[in-house]
Structure 1
Amino acid sequence: MDKRLSLSKNIAAVSRACRFFLYNIRRIRPFLTTYSTQLLVQAMVLYLDYCNSLLAGLPASTIRPLQLIQNAAARLVYNLPRHSHVTPLLTTLHWLPVIARIKFKTLVLAYQVVKGSAPTYLLKILKPYTPARPLCSATSGRLAPPPLRTCASRSRLLMVLAPRWWNDLPVEVRTAETLVTFETEDSPLQGAPLPVVRFCNLGT
């Protein structure tokens, strides 16, 4: 981890490991079906998801190496050349793009905070919104924003990003009765359909 907390070294290490993983699958790809290749590659996609909420708020340019890995993985599943258009492949595979996956993971953590089921350390830094007087907003499932104005160096903190992203969700999503219901609502992330959200959550 670098002193700017950009996690660029960690991203580079994950990218190297994934490239090696894909290289080994590519060597045996002629002997695999599309389905069996997808099963192998999905294990790597879940590796990309591990603790990915730590990457929340990073510039797209910093996240790009991970997105390139995901793109390569999608092309490998369908045995397509390097420059094939990848968006339809991600849709067919029900994979959210990396940045959307990071945001979704953060929103799942926020949901757990609102419901009181999050780990203690999260409950200490994220608080459900409680108005000073009884208002309709008291039941809207919002999170309290940070108490102080946030400088640029702190804008990536979970205590800043999670309330901002969570409070932007439609109220019917924020107030979902169960985590399963929350995960199976149509995703607010780029209009992603149901199966995309479900697969994204496998890495939670």
Structure 2
Amino acid sequence: MLSDCLTEIKSWMHSNFLKLNCIKSDMLMIGPKSLTKTAHNFQLSVENSTLSPSTYIRNLGVILDNNLPFENHVNHITRTAFFHLKNTARLRPSLSFSAPETLIHAFITSGLDYCNSILYGSSCKILNKLQYIQNSAARLLTHTTSREHITPVLQKLHWLPVPHRIHFKILLLTHKSLHNQAPCYLTNLLHRHTPSRSLRSSDANLLSPPLRTKLRTWGDRAFSIAAPTSRNDLPKPIRDCSDLPTFKSLLKTHL
């Protein structure tokens, strides 16, 4: 069935002056380890090409693993960030405060924030690697030694820690979805809570409670589960805010 589907896609692309390059195509089988371990012999034939499962692939700059731990993706971010940190450190003595801050936001913070919502529910081991990058950038910018606590430094810079930045992105997407500022495939995943009878929660502006999932490490990371769970924990004034800039300001202060 997969081979027939890819053949139809290739024919459709050919009729629309496009080309499906089977030689450069890659295949990733995502699932629990019990499934992916037994899938090494699986092959997919597309005309004269044969595809075998890869351990990871790159899509829109994000490295996807077959078990979705995102270790390869985080390791790539770490290597890139410390490359730019070393270059910035060489220039730091001859720059003002604002110049290295601009470099850090352009080359490091942007990498930490790019598609970071996919890391929701990731292990502490993964998130600690990214937090170490942000801590190192803050120490470089403020000349803080490794013996000093980093939390006051981040608060002084108004930088949200990495786990909070991920929650910020999820909640921002949720707010946009509820106010018709996001694609419909995200909006359709959210449903407002409407109790069958008059309750205190009727005016609380809540989302429908998420359904139970079988696997906490997989199902709870879905947007349809993460968005209601995160938003319902916010204070009511933030949930009721409809203006996007005001919502972002209140949310950052709350986090």
- Superposition TM-score tier, normalisation by shorter sequence: 0.7 to 0.9
Q: Who is 2:240 aligned against?
A: 175
CA distance in 2, matches of 1:114, 1:28: 45
Structure ranking higher in helix proportion: 1
Match of 1:162 among 207, 210, 227: 227
**For 1:27-58, what per-residue CA distance to the aligned partner results, in whole angstroms no more than 9, with x for missing partners?**
11111122211121122212211111111111
Measure how far apart 1:118 and its partner are: 1.9
Match of 1:59 among 123, 131, 145: 123
Q: Who is 2:67 aligned against?
A: 4
Q: Which has the higher contact order (CA 8 A, sep 6+)?
A: 1
User: Taking structure 1 as the reference length, what is the TM-score of the superposition?
Assistant: 0.84
What is the letter of the counterpart of residue 94 of structure 2?
Answer: F
User: Unaligned stretches of 5+ in structure 1?
Assistant: 190-204
User: Unaligned stretches of 5+ in structure 2?
Assistant: 1-63
% of aligned pairs identical? 37
User: Taking structure 2 as the reference length, what is the TM-score of the superposition?
Assistant: 0.68
**For 1:157-186, what per-residue CA distance to the aligned partner results, in whole angstroms no more than 9, with x for missing partners?**
121111111001111110102112211226
Q: Who is 1:41 aligned against?
A: 104
Q: Who is 1:30 aligned against?
A: 93
Q: Who is 2:180 aligned against?
A: 116
**For 1:48-81, what per-residue CA distance to the aligned partner results, in whole angstroms no more than 9, with x for missing partners?**
1111111111122211111000001001112333
What is the letter of the counterpart of residue 164 of structure 1?
Answer: T
Q: Who is 1:68 aligned against?
A: 132
1:8–1:62 contact (8 Å) kept in structure 2: yes
Task: Name the larger-Rg structure.
Answer: 2
What is the letter of the counterpart of residue 72 of structure 1?
Answer: S
SS of 2:166's partner is helix
SS of 1:105's partner is helix
User: RMSD of the alignment, in Å?
Assistant: 1.9
Measure how far apart 1:113 and its partner are: 2.1
SS of 1:125's partner is coil
CA distance in 2, matches of 1:181, 1:78: 29
What is the correspondence of 1:94-109 to structure 2 with a 5 Å cutoff?
94-109=158-173
Task: Count the aligned residue pairs.
Answer: 189
SS of 2:229's partner is helix
1:113–1:127 contact (8 Å) kept in structure 2: no
CA distance in 1, matches of 2:116, 2:177: 18
CA distance in 1, matches of 2:129, 2:73: 11
CA distance in 2, matches of 1:71, 1:108: 24
Matched, 1:81 2:150: no
Q: Who is 2:33 aligned against?
A: none
